[in-house]
């Protein structure tokens, strides 16, 4: 089984390639607006390797911004970021859009990093697509065949 860090680096490269071919979605240089697609790639690859990955939709909070009192109170339309959790570790392959230097940002789930606020967690890749449809052009569902081909090419 390949390490999640290895898989995350591959997923980052795949997302960079995808962004270059689809620059109209967001910002290919820092991967702004590619978090749902990049996280889906990481999630799919990690699952394929046998890792117990979780796809997370949530909020990226600016410094000083307070998180909501309760995750359930956050409307889906306000969700603005996606990442993947495996075990007690968060993997964010598009955090560069928030000026993080690491191409693959990792940190413990229970860390003091409160800029990433999880709202919805998905464990099943098949049911995930119907939830991400709200992300429109940024949704993996909008590029399903191309992304599946990319995942197949990995293995």
What confidence score (pLDDT) does residue 132 get? 66
CA distance 47 to 86: 10
CA distance 73 to 67: 11
Instruction: Specify whether the backbone of 32 is left (phi greater than 0), alpha (psi in -120 to 50) or beta.
Output: beta
What confidence score (pLDDT) does residue 129 get? 65
Closest by alpha carbon to 54, among 62, 46, 66?
Answer: 46
What confidence score (pLDDT) does residue 18 get? 94
State pLDDT tens for residues 112-155: 667 888 888 899 877 776 666 666 778 887 888 888 888 888 66
What confidence score (pLDDT) does residue 124 get? 86
- Cβ neighbours, 10 Å, residue 9: 15
Q: For the chain, list the strands marked E by DSSP.
A: 53-60, 81-86, 89-92, 105-108, 116-122
Give me the residues paired with residue 86 across strands: 53, 89
Residues of the chain with pLDDT under 70: 111-113, 129-135, 154-155
Domain count, the chain: 1
CA distance 118 to 56: 6
What confidence score (pLDDT) does residue 26 get? 94
Domain coverage including residue 68: 4-154
């Amino acid at each position: 089984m390949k390490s999640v860090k290895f898989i995350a680096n591959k997923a980052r490269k795949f997302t960079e390639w995808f962004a270059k071919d689809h620059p109209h979605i967001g910002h290919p240089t820092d991967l702004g607006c590619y978090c749902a697609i990049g996280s889906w790639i990481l999630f799919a690859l990690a699952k394929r390797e046998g890792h117990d990955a979780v796809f997370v939709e949530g909020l990226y909070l600016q410094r000083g911004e307070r998180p909501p009192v309760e995750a359930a109170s956050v409307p889906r339309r306000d969700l603005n970021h996606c990442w993947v959790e495996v075990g007690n570790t968060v993997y964010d392959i598009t955090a560069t859009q928030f000026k993080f230097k690491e191409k693959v940002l990792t940190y413990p789930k229970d860390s003091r990093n409160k800029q990433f606020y999880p709202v919805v967690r998905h464990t099943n890749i098949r049911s995930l697509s119907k939830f991400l449809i709200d992300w429109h052009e940024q949704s993996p569902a909008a590029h399903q065949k191309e992304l599946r081909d990319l995942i197949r090419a990995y293995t």
